[in-house]
Amino acid sequence: MFRTRVISAAVGLALFAVVMSLDRIVLGVVIFILSLIGIYEFYRAVEAKGFKPSKPAGYVSCLTVLALSVRNVNPAIGKLVESFADLRYFSLLVFIISLALFCGVIFTNNRFSAADAAFTVLGMIYVPFMLSFLVLTRFLDDGFYFVWLIFMGAWVTDTFAYFTGRALGMRKILPQISPNKTVEGTIGGILGCALVTTLFGAFTARTGHHGYIQVYHFIILGILSGVLSQVSDWSASAVKRFAGIKDFGGIMPGHGGVLDRFDSVLFISPVIYFYISFIIL
């Protein structure tokens, strides 16, 4: 099992490196595909508890990821995306979605409940909305390195937390959600992430990839990533516990589904995007 996980992770990392080396639109298209698979996995998980979220609505919401990816290619799509950046248009979209879902609750003779509507919206927020920040980050100045920082934060935290927990872990942190996670492993993941992201920031600055970001920003980003990576992982574990399933899917041998592999990324990417947008740039 361990060997399968290592091989699968190596193949996945190689594919990711190839995608990152291509045009940023390619990454956007890949994230769009992953969001479709991820929201399917999420809805299937809640269906295991008897709920019936609207899958078509969830799939349509993933188109926002694709629109963000190709907005610089097609002027019409670019103008549409810019329009929804306006709070008025965004509010209109939220209103239309809410109205449509409640009409479903009212007029389907109890085949679509308020709980189904709630899980439909939660899936939209949890998967395509969160993943869209990977695309937004990639389109920032020096976005190539910031996207690497997002994935690095998730993978490094997971690695340091695992080995620190194996070596030093004694006190369980959330046994009702993730019985194998320990306080010591959690701290090790945060410190390891802060160390590696700081080294990454110092290296990229020294090699001339950016000259305007002070290293202390990478320390802060590393701590934030180390914390939120694990919160994101625990959130996914809570959903799986609720649904009574072990994995969201089986698309990646030894790793489960898309959400099993990318769960730690979901909360990191918005925070890094907002931190860079509001504080650094």
State how far the alpha carbon of 96 is from the alpha carbons of 53, 106, 239, in Å.
17, 15, 27
* Digit-coded pLDDT (tens) for 30-60: 999 999 999 999 999 999 999 999 999 999 9
In the DSSP assignment, the letter for residue 246 is: S
Among the residue ranges 24-28, 117-121, 130-134, the one predicted with the least confidence is: 24-28
User: What share of the chain in percent tops pLDDT 90?
Assistant: 59
Is 214 buried (19+), middle (13-18) or exposed (0-12) by CB count in 10 A?
A: exposed
Whether 225 shows a pLDDT value over 60: the answer reads yes
Please give the span between the terminal C-alpha atoms of the chain, in angstroms, as a whole number.
Answer: 44
Average pLDDT, the chain: 87
Lookup: tokens for 264:
């730690």
Residue pair 201/215 in contact (Cβ under 8 Å)? The answer is yes
Q: What is the pLDDT of residue 75?
A: 67
Range of the domain at 65: 2-280
Whether 113 shows a pLDDT value over 80: the answer reads yes
d(CA 43, CA 168): 37
Q: What is the DSSP string of 65-119?
A: HHHHHHTTT-HHHHHHHHHHHSHHHHHHHHHHHHHHHHHHHHHTTTSS-HHHHHH
Closest alpha carbon to 100 in 116, 83, 89: 116
pTM of the model: 0.89
Closest alpha carbon to 58 in 48, 69, 43: 43
Closest alpha carbon to 132 in 197, 74, 62: 62
Domain count, the chain: 1
d(CA 128, CA 131): 5
All residues at 6 or more sequence positions from 117 whose CB lies less than 8 Å from its CB, including other chains: 53, 54, 101, 102, 104, 105
